[in-house]
Structure 1
C-alpha cells in the first residue's frame, strides 16, 4: 500500500508540494501526471526516502522508507536510469545490489532474462548501454528484491515501440498479480493504456484523483460557437465555468444538455457540442493543466528539481 498524506515539501520560501494526499492500492497501476515541475519527482523522491518532507507523510506498507528493514524487498524504484555504475557490467550492477538485498545470483540471471538483457548484453559495461537498455536494467533492479510495489518515473523513456509495448504488458501483469505500480510518464497514451487510477498534480497540489474511467467521464463538455465571444458571455451569465482550449473551443464544467439549453435560449449558434471525455486522457490532462502549464512564473519545482533531483 502507498499512502501520501498531506505531504508538503518546501525549499526555502518555495513550496514544491503542498498538502498532497492520495493512495495506491494492491492490484492497480496509478498514473501520476502533471506538467514539468509540478511536483511529481519530488513526491516520488519523498516516498523513496531521497527527499525529506517538510510536513505530512509518504509511506510504504504503513512505514516511511527509512523505517523499512530491507526496503528493496518491499518497494522497487526506478527514478533515473543514468545513475547506474557505468564502469560495471549489467550483471555486476545487479549482483552488487543482490548481495545487499539478500537475494540469490539465480534471481539476478532471471531478471536479466526478463528484461531482455540476458547473454551478451549482461556482460557489457553499462557505459556502453543505450538509454533504452539502461531503462531495462533499471527495471530489473527494481524487480530484483521481489517487491510488491513499483515506483517508476518515466520508465519508457528511450524505449522503442516494441519495448514500450513490452513494458506495458509487464506492468499490467505485475499489478494483476496483486502488485502496486505508481507510474509517472509524459506519454499519456501509454498511461491511458495501462493505468487503472490517475493522480493529477499541478503547482504542487493534487487537482484530480480517482478511478480513470470516472475521471474521464467527468471532464465536462466541449462547446464551440460561430461567435465565441457571445458564447463566453452566455456561459458566464449562466454560471457555467469554462476554459478556453488551444483550438479556440471551450471546455465547460457542465453537462452537454445544460450548455446546449443556455446557448439555445440566448440564440447562440453552436458548431460543436460533445462530452469532453471523448478526447480521452490527453484532452482531460490538457484541460486541467492548460491555465498554468506555460506559466514561467508559477510556484513549482522546475528549478529545484533541476538542481536537486531528476526532472519529471
Structure 2
C-alpha cells in the first residue's frame, strides 16, 4: 500500500505540490493523471526519497521508502527509462541491480524473458536501445526484486501497440496477485482500460480521486447523432440534462437511457460511449486551467 498525507513541495514562492493526500491500495491499479507540470512526477520523486518534501509524508508498506530494508525488494520504481547508463548493456544493468539487492544471477535471465528482451538485445549497449526497449528494461529492473509495490511514471511511452497490451497484461496480473500499482500516464485510453482507481492532479492539487467507475459515472455519456439538435430536444423533453460539446453532446444519463430516447424519437445515433470519451472529457474539464495547448500529458 502507498499512503500520502499532506505532501507538499515548494520552490521559493512556487508550490509545485500542494497538500496532496491519497492512498493506493493492494490488489488495485491506481491511475495518476494530470497535465505536464501538474506535479505528478514531483509527487512520485518524493514518494521514493529523490526529492525531499517541504511538508507532509509518504509511506510505502507503512514505512518511508528510505527506511525500507533493501527497498528494491519491496518497491519497484520506474521514473525515467532514459536514465539508464548508456554505456552498459541491458544485462549489465540488471546484473548490477541483482547484486545490489542480493539476488541470484538467474533472476536476470528470468526478467529478460518476462519483458521480452532477447539474448542478443540484452548484450547490446543501452545507448543503442529504442525508447520502447528502454521501457522494457526499466520495467524489468522494477520487477527484479519481486516487489509488492510498483511506482511507474509513463511506462507505456515508446511502446508499440503490442508492447502496450503486454504491459497491460503484466500489470493486471501483478495487481490480481495482491500487488499495489501506481501508474502515471498521458495515454488516457490505457488508463481507462487498466485502472481501478483514478487520481487527477492539477496545479499541484488533487482535483478528483475515486474509483474509475464512480468518476466516470459522474462524467456521464458522450453521444453523437445525425441530428444532434433533434436528439438534444428529445432528451430535454425527457428531463435529461444535455451539454453541447462540439460535435458531440454530453448527457447526464446512462448510455442505455440515451439509446432508448433516441429510438423512441427516431433519431439515428452515430456514436454512444461512456468509456474513454467520458474520461477524456472529465480530465480536460478538471484540468483546463493547467492544460497546455489542449494536450493532455
TM-score range, shorter chain: 0.7 to 0.9
How far off its partner does 1:51 sit?
A: 0.6
Q: Is the 8 A contact 1:38 1:203 kept in 2?
A: yes
* TM-score (norm: length of structure 1): 0.78
Of 267, 287, 290, 2:288 maps to 290
The offset of 1:280, in angstroms, is: 2.9
Against the structure 1 CA distance between its residues 155 and 222, is the aligned structure 2 distance closer, same or farther, given a 3 Å change threshold? closer
1:193 aligns with 2:193: yes
How much does 1:171 deviate?
Answer: 0.5
CA distance in 1, matches of 2:206, 2:99: 38
Match of 1:101 in 2: 101
Cα shift at 1:151 = 0.5
* Matched-pair contact (CA < 8 Å) for 1:220–1:275: no
Distance in 1, matches of 2:289 and 2:84, equals 37
Alpha carbons of structure 1 residues 284 and 109: separation in structure 2 relative to 1, 3 Å: same
Structure 1 match to 2:2: 2
Q: What does residue 147 of structure 2 align with? A: 147
- The equivalent of 2:157 in structure 1 is 157
Rounded to whole Å, the distance in 2 between the matches of 1:58 and 1:18 is 14
Cα gap change, 1:84/1:243 in structure 2, threshold over 3 Å: closer, same or farther?
farther
Closer, same or farther: CA 99–211 of 1 in aligned 2, 3 Å: same
Q: 2:233 aligns to what? A: none
In 2, the alpha carbon distance for the partners of 1:86 and 1:280 equals 41
User: Are the aligned partners of 1:276 and 1:284 in contact in 2 as well (CA < 8 Å)?
Assistant: no
Q: Which SS does the other structure have where 1:198 is aligned?
A: strand
- Shift, 1:276, TM fit: 8.7
On the 8 A contact 1:5/1:58 being kept in 2, the answer is: yes
5+ residue gaps, structure 1:
227-239, 257-271, 297-311
Instruction: Report how many aligned residue pairs link the two structures.
Output: 271
Q: SS of the counterpart of 1:218?
A: helix
Offset from partner CA, 1:4-41 (integer Å, 9 cap, x none): 11111111110011111110111000000011111100
C-alpha RMSD of matched pairs (Å): 3.0
Match of 2:265 in 1: none
Residue equivalent to 1:65: 65
Cα pair 1:77 1:151 within 8 Å, conserved:
yes
Deviation at 1:220, TM superposition (A): 5.0
Find the residue that maps to 2:218 and give its secondary structure. coil
Describe how 1:1-312 pairs up with structure 2 within 5 A.
Answer: 1-220=1-220, 245=245, 247=246, 277=274, 279-294=277-292
The whole-number CA distance in structure 2 between the counterparts of 1:108 and 1:222 is 46
Alignment partners' CA distance in 2, 1:223 and 1:25: 33
Q: What are the ranges of 5 or more consecutive residues in structure 2 without an aligned counterpart?
A: 230-240, 255-268
The Cα of 1:118 is off from its aligned counterpart by 3.1
Task: Measure, in 1, the Cα distance between the counterparts of 2:272 and 2:182.
Answer: 28
